[in-house]
């Protein structure tokens, strides 16, 4: 049996023979092709008048010396004809009807190259008609050589027509003619008689309209055979529309049996009897407000067949484009209509334009195709709506320096005006104009029409004079032309003087000065000389006394003469025997101030010098003495005395301190805190007086109350060593007792407080200390905090101790605090005092949450921990009972757990159990263990608690291997088996998806497959599909079925698995002769 390859080879051989035969025939044809007979000029074909020829120009060539002509592009591949006329007339030649783009040229000469070109044409109508045509005057007896070539060397079927025709000319008579029925005659004339009728087709154009403005006796002129001419008549038609003289242009658009002599055209003029229309102007909508509009209309006296343009001019007091929108400059009246109009639209502005309305004067400046009726003019008025402007003044600088600085005074309008606004100014103030203190650039400010402001300048003039106060320039609006003064209408500029007034400073020399006749000098100095005498009045202060007591001054004023810079006075010390050195202020001082200056100023506002007089006397000492102590509480007294070692020239202050157990003002009258020893005396005293009370004041340690008097400090003298005296007050009151109370008796655990109060039976004059002891079920520092003692201050009946609960999160019963008096100082416990307070617990019963750690865990002994956590601590054990579910099986199959309940012992926040994985030999994938709470003792579950532990499988997913049996299989129902094997067991179904390829076609064509996938059930290792051959009658090679794995669910392909089954063909071969017969 032959295969397809051998059959295909035979077909290729036969096809090759046919191709070779066709190429041979084509070559033979090409060898036999030859150029046309008239390819060269020497072989030109002779034509006769009015002859038409047909020819193919295929294979036409180009002679070496042959001219291409002056038209067309690359006009090669030519053929030649020749013609010799027997009469002198028009020679017309065309290639109309030819099947290619021709180039036609006519030549004269001797019959050999080179020739002389007479005419040349490429296209009759470029871009549309690609054939050619020439028409030339021909002379009898002259031979004309006709060359027909192809544009860019193209060839094809040629149709050539040659004729000798009479020339046609046109003439006109009777023009101009009136439109009311007058006539004109158009005559066509031949260059000679013709044996045929000559038909001249006419075209009519011009400004006159055929059928409306005129008629013609025909659109053709027929010149009968033997005649030289023929004519048509043009007749004018009457209308009532003005028309300018109109034209009738007559052209020849076609000639039959003749030729137009060049370009023939005649123009007849048709005169109109209608009057030319006149134009008048009309106006509506005037006067108009700013922003309003008016309409200008141009109207004709009678219609015209022409469009009429009325050109307009615009004048008046209103400004075009400013006061009104620029209108069209002409009105177009369409043909056969009587009027048209334009709109004048005023502009709403804020420009004051006077009380008189603005005008827009519209004139006719010219009319096209009509005339103006006399002088046409309309005037539209715009009514003003803007107020007369007001003027305000502004100043850019309120202060200018004396040295040529400039200030600008601006006059501003409230709104613009079309008029010049003049603002006349008045100048006042302390400054002098005219170049003395300043110059002004003008005495009025003109504000131009259409603008809002203008200004003048004020320029200061420099001088060398000190002139005291700054000078002012006051500018006021005096009058306004075309406006009014607004507010503000006055501005004030200030000229600051740059010449300084001299300033005075004081200086001092020879200080300190000796008490015994020392001299110091005070000098007053000017910053610059003055033309005036400067008087400096002085003031004297300080601890030193003048007028001969501690010193003498040579004067109270310093006079600095004009032109001088300084002058002086002197201070002289006076001796005495008193100590006068103050502890704070030191030696005596003479303070000299300026209290007034004439014709100058004190520099920096405060000039002062201080002279010191050095004292030469010894400093005294102080001692304390006491008499009358001890003294009774009820009005007794004692005396304290301070004594100097010598008299002082200044007061001596002895500052005292009072301590001891007695309280000043309570136990004794408050004494002075210092003793003043006056100048010239040696001592001073004060009295301590007891005050009666009902307070017990005998301290357990110190006994009766005492008053300790000490010298704290001494001013202007010195304490003699350490001076101190002690006075004692005898007490006469009973000793108090102490009782306890608590409130509230019960308080909250979360920061709650209760107060323990210790109360005296009588108020004490000294502090009483109560020390406490604590007991009860509550623990100090853990359940509560409190101090261990309280002090009842002197004079107070009681004091309190605060007990504050300490919050915890532990659930527990209420607890007690028992408070006792341990001891009392400066009082006695009243019998046995005890109080009890209770702390109420505020902690909720704890809630339980679950968590898991160590998950995922290995199947082979991995451990996960399930932890139960309390929301808060408890004093009781909490038991959490658990349940176990999920994909993993307990009871030692997939895992074990350390317990089915978690115990959280009292005081602990958590408890836990463990879950341990158990190994097996099956692939199971990840398995989950769901742990839930099913019960809680001494607590509650926090919502719905569940944790999930994952056991990771130790076995790998099974791999799939393919095998094949029963191949090759017979085409006629043979069966092969494809089997998938797993490498290990799985607890899941494994799905193997198959792909089919190869040369055999499935789906019942070459074979059928029992399935495109196979499922290996859980705990099995194999499954199969079958491939069954399908019989056919086709001669085929053995075919293959390639089976691949395209996907695996719950497993993996072992590398790349593929099996190939072969189907053996059972159809007989046919011989080659039979095949060829069949193919034919």
pLDDT in tens, 802-816: 999 988 777 777 889
Residue 5 in this model has a pLDDT that exceeds 60: no
| β partners of residue 639 | 627, 687
Distance from C-alpha of 878 to C-alpha of 502, rounded to nearest angstrom:
100
- 705-715 and 828-829 as β-strands: parallel, antiparallel, unpaired? unpaired
> Are 794 and 856 part of one and the same domain?
no
Looking at residue 1069, its pLDDT comes to 62
Residue where a domain terminates, one of 683, 715, 730 = 730
DSSP state of 813: -
Looking at residue 1033, its pLDDT comes to 84
Distance from C-alpha of 140 to C-alpha of 495, rounded to nearest angstrom:
117
Chain-centre distance of CA 821, in angstroms? 78
Q: Which residue has the tokens 């996907």?
A: 1047
Looking at residue 856, its pLDDT comes to 94
CA 319, 323, 328, 331 torsion: positive or negative? Answer: negative
Among 1072, 1001, 995, which residue's Cα sits nearest to residue 1032?
Answer: 1001
Confidence band (pLDDT; 50, 70, 90) for 25? very low
pLDDT in tens, 230-283: 999 999 988 777 777 889 999 999 998 888 888 999 999 988 777 889 999 999
**For residue 931, is it within any domain?**
yes
Q: Which pair of tokens denotes residue 697?
A: 């004041």
Looking at residue 634, its pLDDT comes to 86
Measured CA to CA in angstroms, residue 951 lies from 538, 561, 858, 932, 1052 at distances of 108, 117, 6, 17, 21
Looking at residue 155, its pLDDT comes to 95
Q: What is the mean pLDDT of residues 378-396?
A: 89
pLDDT in tens, 989-1008: 999 999 999 999 998 999 99
**For residue 842, is it within any domain?**
no
> Are 43 and 143 part of one and the same domain?
yes
Other Cβ atoms within 10 Å of 1047 Cβ, number: 11
390 contacts 453 by C-beta, under 8 angstroms: no
| β partners of residue 784 | 780, 805
Looking at residue 464, its pLDDT comes to 58
Looking at residue 157, its pLDDT comes to 96
Distance from C-alpha of 976 to C-alpha of 966, rounded to nearest angstrom:
4
Distance from C-alpha of 638 to C-alpha of 629, rounded to nearest angstrom:
6
Residue 15 in this model has a pLDDT that exceeds 50: no
Looking at residue 888, its pLDDT comes to 85
**For residue 283, is it within any domain?**
yes
> Are 288 and 359 part of one and the same domain?
yes
Measured CA to CA in angstroms, residue 861 lies from 851, 856, 858, 864, 915 at distances of 20, 12, 6, 10, 9
- 444-447 and 652-659 as β-strands: parallel, antiparallel, unpaired? unpaired
Looking at residue 30, its pLDDT comes to 39
Residue 1009 in this model has a pLDDT that exceeds 50: yes
**For residue 566, is it within any domain?**
yes
> Are 240 and 307 part of one and the same domain?
no
Distance from C-alpha of 1020 to C-alpha of 510, rounded to nearest angstrom:
128
Q: Which residues have CB under 8 Å from 941's CB, separation 6+?
A: 847, 848, 933
Among 71, 133, 67, 144, which residue's Cα sits nearest to residue 109?
Answer: 144
Q: Which pair of tokens denotes residue 958?
A: 């099974």
pLDDT in tens, 73-115: 899 999 999 999 998 888 989 999 999 999 999 999 999 999 9
**For residue 1076, is it within any domain?**
no
Measured CA to CA in angstroms, residue 613 lies from 510, 518, 551, 783, 839 at distances of 11, 8, 9, 75, 78
Cis bond upstream, residue 741 (ω within 30)? no
pLDDT in tens, 342-362: 999 998 877 777 767 889 999
For residues 765 and 713, the model is more confident at 713
Looking at residue 27, its pLDDT comes to 43
> Are 439 and 491 part of one and the same domain?
yes
Confidence band (pLDDT; 50, 70, 90) for 1074? very low
Residue 2 in this model has a pLDDT that exceeds 50: no
Q: Which residue has the tokens 């020497």?
A: 42
Confidence band (pLDDT; 50, 70, 90) for 471? confident
pLDDT in tens, 1020-1049: 889 999 999 999 888 888 999 999 999 999
Average model confidence (pLDDT) across the chain: 88
> Are 430 and 545 part of one and the same domain?
no
Q: What is the mean pLDDT of residues 641-660?
A: 91
Q: Which pair of tokens denotes residue 550?
A: 């501690």
**For residue 399, is it within any domain?**
yes
Across 12-33, b (16+ Cβ under 10 Å) vs e yields eeeeeeeeeeeeeeeeeeeeee
pLDDT in tens, 817-853: 999 999 999 899 999 999 999 998 877 888 999 999 9
Residue where a domain terminates, one of 349, 383, 417 = 383
Q: Which pair of tokens denotes residue 794?
A: 């002197």
In the chain, how many domains are there? 10
Among 168, 197, 193, 176, which residue's Cα sits nearest to residue 264?
Answer: 168
The CATH number assigned to the domain holding 633 equals: 2.60.40.2030
DSSP secondary structure letters along 135-161 = EEEE-TT--EEEEEEEGGG---EEEEE
**For residue 1070, is it within any domain?**
no
> Are 197 and 253 part of one and the same domain?
yes
> Are 655 and 718 part of one and the same domain?
yes
> Are 966 and 943 part of one and the same domain?
no
Cis bond upstream, residue 114 (ω within 30)? yes
Q: What are phi and psi of 69, to 5 degrees?
A: 90, 170
> Are 743 and 770 part of one and the same domain?
yes
Q: Which residue has the tokens 């109560």?
A: 770
- Which of 181-195, 522-536, 855-869 shows the lowest mean pLDDT across its residues? 522-536
Looking at residue 1070, its pLDDT comes to 52
For residues 363 and 135, the model is more confident at 363
Looking at residue 790, its pLDDT comes to 95
| DSSP 3-state of 225 | coil
- 177-178 and 144-150 as β-strands: parallel, antiparallel, unpaired? unpaired
Distance from C-alpha of 572 to C-alpha of 567, rounded to nearest angstrom:
17
Distance from C-alpha of 744 to C-alpha of 995, rounded to nearest angstrom:
89
Looking at residue 360, its pLDDT comes to 93
Confidence band (pLDDT; 50, 70, 90) for 891? confident
686 contacts 625 by C-beta, under 8 angstroms: no
Among 140, 126, 235, which residue's Cα sits nearest to residue 179?
Answer: 235
> Are 375 and 405 part of one and the same domain?
no
**For residue 260, is it within any domain?**
yes
Looking at residue 6, its pLDDT comes to 41
Farthest-apart Cα atoms in the chain, separation: 188
- Which of 55-64, 206-215, 605-614, 728-737 shows the lowest mean pLDDT across its residues? 728-737
The CATH number assigned to the domain holding 100 equals: 2.60.120.380
Residue where a domain terminates, one of 582, 614, 646 = 614
pLDDT in tens, 389-438: 999 999 998 898 888 899 999 999 988 888 899 999 999 988 888 888 89
Containing domain of residue 965, as a range? Answer: 959-1064
Residue 53 in this model has a pLDDT that exceeds 90: yes
Distance from C-alpha of 384 to C-alpha of 291, rounded to nearest angstrom:
10
Across 947-966, b (16+ Cβ under 10 Å) vs e yields bebbbbbbbebbbbbbebee
Distance from C-alpha of 219 to C-alpha of 233, rounded to nearest angstrom:
10
Q: Which residues have CB under 8 Å from 1038's CB, separation 6+?
A: 968, 1062, 1063, 1064, 1065
Looking at residue 450, its pLDDT comes to 84
Confidence band (pLDDT; 50, 70, 90) for 548? confident
> Are 224 and 324 part of one and the same domain?
no
């Amino acid at each position: 049996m032959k295969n397809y390859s051998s059959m295909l080879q035979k077909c290729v051989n036969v096809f090759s023979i046919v191709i070779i035969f066709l190429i041979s025939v084509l070559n033979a044809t090409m060898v036999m092709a030859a150029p046309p007979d008239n390819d060269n000029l020497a072989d030109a074909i002779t034509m006769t008048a009015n002859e038409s020829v047909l020819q193919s120009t295929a294979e036409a060539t180009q002679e070496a010396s042959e001219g291409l002509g002056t038209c067309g592009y690359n006009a090669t591949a030519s053929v030649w004809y020749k013609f010799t006329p027997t009469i002198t007339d028009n020679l017309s030649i065309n290639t109309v009807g030819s099947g290619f783009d021709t180039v036609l040229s006519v030549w004269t000469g001797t019959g050999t190259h080179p020739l002389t070109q007479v005419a040349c044409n490429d296209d009759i109508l470029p871009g549309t008609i690609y054939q050619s045509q020439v028409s030339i005057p021909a002379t009898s007896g002259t031979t004309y050589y006709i060359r027909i070539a192809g544009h860019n060397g193209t060839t094809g079927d040629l149709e050539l027509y040659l004729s000798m025709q009479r020339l046609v000319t046109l003439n006109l008579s009777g023009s101009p003619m009136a439109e009311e029925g007058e006539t004109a005659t158009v005559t066509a004339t031949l260059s000679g008689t013709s044996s045929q009728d000559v038909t001249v087709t006419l075209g009519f154009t011009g400004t006159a309209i055929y059928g409306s403005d005129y008629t013609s006796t025909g659109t053709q002129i027929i010149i009968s055979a033997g005649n030289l001419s023929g004519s048509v008549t043009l007749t004018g038609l009457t209308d009532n529309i003005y028309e300018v003289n109109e034209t009738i242009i007559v052209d020849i658009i076609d000639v039959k049996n003749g030729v137009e002599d060049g370009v023939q055209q005649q123009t007849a003029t048709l005169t109109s009897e209608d009057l030319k229309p006149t134009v008048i102007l009309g106006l509506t909508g005037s006067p108009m407000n700013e922003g309003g509009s008016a309409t200008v209309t141009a109207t004709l006296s009678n219609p015209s067949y022409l469009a009429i343009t009325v050109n307009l001019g615009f004048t008046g007091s209103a400004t075009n484009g400013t006061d009104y929108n620029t209108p069209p400059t002409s009105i177009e009246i369409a043909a056969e209509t009587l009027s048209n109009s334009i709109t004048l639209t005023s502009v709403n502005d804020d420009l004051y334009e006077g009380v008189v309305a603005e005008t827009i004067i519209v004139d006719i400046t010219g009319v096209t195709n009509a005339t103006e009726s006399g002088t046409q003019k309309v005037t539209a008025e715009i009514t003003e709506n803007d107020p007369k402007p007001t003027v305000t003044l502004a100043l850019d600088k309120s202060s200018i320096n004396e040295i040529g600085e400039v200030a600008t005074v601006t006059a501003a309008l409230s709104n613009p005006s079309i008029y010049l606004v003049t603002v006349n100014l008045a100048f006042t103030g302390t400054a002098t104009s005219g170049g003395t203190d300043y110059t002004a650039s003008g005495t009025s400010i003109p504000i131009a029409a259409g603008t809002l402001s203008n200004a003048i300048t004020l320029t200061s003039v420099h001088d060398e004079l000190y002139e005291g106060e700054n000078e002012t320039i006051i500018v006021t609006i005096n009058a306004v032309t075309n406006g009014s003064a607004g507010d503000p209408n006055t501005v004030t500029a200030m000229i600051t003087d740059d010449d300084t007034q001299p300033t005075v400073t004081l200086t001092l020399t020879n200080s300190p000065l000796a008490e015994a006749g020392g001299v110091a000098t005070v000098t007053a100095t000017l910053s610059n000389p003055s033309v005036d005498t400067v008087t400096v009045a002085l003031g004297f202060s300080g601890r030193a006394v003048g007028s001969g007591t501690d010193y003498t001054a040579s004067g109270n004023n310093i006079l600095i003469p004009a032109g001088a810079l300084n002058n002086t006075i002197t201070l002289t010390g006076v001796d005495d025997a008193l100590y006068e050195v103050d502890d704070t202020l030191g030696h005596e001082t003479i303070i000299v101030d300026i209290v007034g200056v004439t014709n100058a100023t004190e520099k920096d506002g405060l000039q002062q010098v201080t002279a010191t007089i050095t004292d030469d006397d010894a400093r005294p000492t102080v001692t304390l003495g006491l008499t009358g102590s001890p003294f009774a509480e009820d009005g007794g007294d004692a005396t304290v005395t301070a004594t100097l070692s010598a008299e002082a020239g200044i007061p001596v202050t002895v500052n005292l301190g009072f301590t001891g157990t007695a309280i000043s003002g309570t136990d004794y009258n408050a004494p002075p805190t210092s003793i003043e020893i006056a100048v010239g005396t040696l001592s001073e005293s004060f009295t301590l007086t007891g005050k009666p009370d009902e307070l017990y004041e005998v301290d357990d340690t110190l006994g009766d109350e005492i008053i300790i008097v000490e010298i704290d400090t001494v001013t202007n003298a010195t304490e003699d060593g350490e001076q101190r005296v002690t006075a004692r007050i005898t007490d006469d009151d009973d000793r108090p007792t102490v009782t306890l109370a608590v409130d509230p008796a019960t308080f909250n655990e979360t920061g709650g407080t209760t107060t323990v109060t210790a109360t005296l039976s009588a108020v004490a004059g000294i502090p009483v200390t109560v020390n406490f002891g604590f007991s009860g079920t509550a623990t100090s520092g853990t359940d509560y905090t409190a101090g261990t003692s309280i002090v009842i201050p002197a004079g107070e009946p009681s004091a309190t101790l605060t007990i504050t609960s300490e919050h915890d999160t532990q659930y527990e019963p209420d607890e007690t605090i028992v408070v006792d008096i341990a001891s009392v100082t400066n009082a006695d416990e009243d019998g046995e005092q005890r109080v009890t307070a209770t702390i109420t617990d505020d902690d909720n019963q704890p809630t339980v949450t679950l968590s898991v750690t160590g998950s995922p865990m290995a199947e082979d002994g991995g451990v996960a921990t399930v932890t139960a956590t309390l929301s808060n601590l408890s004093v009781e054990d909490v038991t959490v009972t658990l349940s176990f579910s999920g994909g993993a099986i307990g009871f030692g199959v997939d895992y074990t757990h350390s317990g089915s309940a978690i115990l959280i012992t009292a005081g602990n926040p958590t408890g836990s159990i463990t879950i341990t994985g158990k190994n097996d030999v099956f692939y199971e994938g990840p398995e989950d263990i769901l742990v839930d709470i099913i019960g809680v003792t001494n607590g509650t579950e926090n919502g719905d608690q569940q944790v999930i532990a994952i056991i990771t499988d130790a076995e790998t997913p099974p791999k799939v291997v393919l095998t094949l049996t029963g191949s090759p299989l017979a085409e006629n129902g043979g069966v092969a088996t494809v089997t998938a094997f797993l490498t290990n067991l799985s607890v899941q179904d494994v799905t193997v998806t198959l792909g089919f390829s190869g040369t055999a076609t499935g789906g019942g064509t070459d074979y059928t497959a029992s399935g495109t996938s196979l499922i290996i059930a859980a705990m099995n290792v194999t499954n199969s599909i079958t491939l069954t051959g399908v019989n056919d009658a086709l001669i085929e090679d053995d075919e293959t079925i390639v089976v691949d794995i395209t996907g695996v669910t719950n497993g993996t392909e072992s590398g790349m698995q593929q099996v190939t089954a072969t189907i053996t063909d059972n159809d007989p071969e046919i011989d080659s002769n039979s095949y060829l017969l069949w193919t034919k």
